[in-house]
Amino acid sequence: MTKIGILTGGGDCPGLNPVIRAVVRKGINEGYQIIGIKNGWKGLIENDAMPLDLSTVSGILPKGGTILGTSRTNPYKKQEDLMRLQDNYKKIGLDALIAVGGEDTLGVAAKLIKEGITNIVGVPKTIDNDLSCTDYTFGFDTAVNIATECIDRLHTTAESHHRIIVVEVMGRHAGWIAVESGIAGGADIILIPEIPIDIEEVCNLIQKRHRRGKTFSIVVVAEGAHFKEGTAVLQEQKLDEFGHVRLGGIGEQLAKEIEKRTGYETRVSVLGHIQRGGTPSAFDRILGTRFGVKAVELVKDKKFGRMVALVGNKIIDVPIEDAVKALKTVDMELYEIAKVFFG
């Protein structure tokens, strides 16, 4: 019997469980045996796996997170880990692996395929929506909805107290969450990693609002944004196995600068992991389901090295390698639309 493994790697996001469920349901329909690899690449290094059947995936569609667990383990960090991964892939008896992840997890997948170590099909996931070759990654829509609701809530308190509220959202390299939740939530300024922050301009926009009688403002900033002269603000210097630092703190710095320069009372609200938790939106459940079904079809057709993708409203497949080559940054046409409402 064909044995297909599935793993979820990197930061979790809403929609992972719908993918797992879809892979299991479609896989079983095709007569395959599905093996869940625990905690991303770590599970293959440590031979930590479990069979997945109809009962294991029953009821998981609306659940956030991933029933398989996740990690940011990079098997290319240590040669012995790579050897163990290769051995365990054989030991478990996998014919193919479905890797669900973002730039890091799929970057590893691309290397493993190139080196002929495993047969892999990729599924794009990240709340940041920064993977190339797909219009959307699942998890993003839920994160945007959560951030929008938070902005709505912050609006009423900002207005009552005549304050500026800086809302820091996630978005390491790309400001997709900031732009979309900012547009949906009616932000007065949106700051993203793609465009260095001009603090003078930010304060001018806020003052312009005050001149027309608005005594409050909402400023949405992506965690990866940075001032014109500086680099992104780091919460700690420690790097993860893929060389990423922990971001966070730009909201705090921005709030201080705004208050100092304008004299208006300014507060900051950091949304953080709230954006990654909880039940997936209907859009993410459907996208995850479509991705999962298509991933099994790719395995069936032996189209290894391919990643499922959403282009327009069609699910297609693209080379994993192309998807991880360059990040998909914010569409400047969309940012121009957001800018119409600044100030």
Exactly one of 128, 130, 188, 284 is catalytic; name it. Answer: 128
322 is catalytic: no
- The footprint of ligand F6P (CB under 6 A) covers 11, 102, 126-128, 170-172, 223, 247, 276
Looking at beta carbons, which residue is closest to ligand F6P?
Answer: 170
233-240: long-range contacts, CB 8 A cutoff, minimum separation 24: 240/72
46-49: long-range contacts, CB 8 A cutoff, minimum separation 24: 46/84, 46/88, 47/84, 47/88, 47/91, 47/92, 49/5, 49/92
Q: Please state the closest distance from residue 170 (CB atom) to ligand F6P, in A.
A: 3
In this structure, the number of other CB atoms found within 10 A of the CB of residue 12 comes to: 21
Please identify, using beta-carbon distances, which residue of 276 and 306 lies nearer to ligand F6P: 276
Q: Please state the closest distance from residue 133 (CB atom) to ligand F6P, in A.
A: 17
Q: Please state the closest distance from residue 51 (CB atom) to ligand F6P, in A.
A: 28
Strand partners, 36: 6, 50
Please check whether residue 297 is in contact with residue 312, taking contact to mean a CB–CB distance below 8 angstroms: no
Q: Please state the closest distance from residue 230 (CB atom) to ligand F6P, in A.
A: 18
Please identify, using beta-carbon distances, which residue of 136 and 304 lies nearer to ligand F6P: 136
Look up tokens 């993410």; give the residue.
Answer: 284
Is residue 17 within a helix (H) or strand (E), and if so which, with residue range? Answer: helix 16-29
Please identify, using beta-carbon distances, which residue of 276 and 290 lies nearer to ligand F6P: 276
| Tokens linked to 9 | 């790697």
Catalytic (active-site) positions: 128
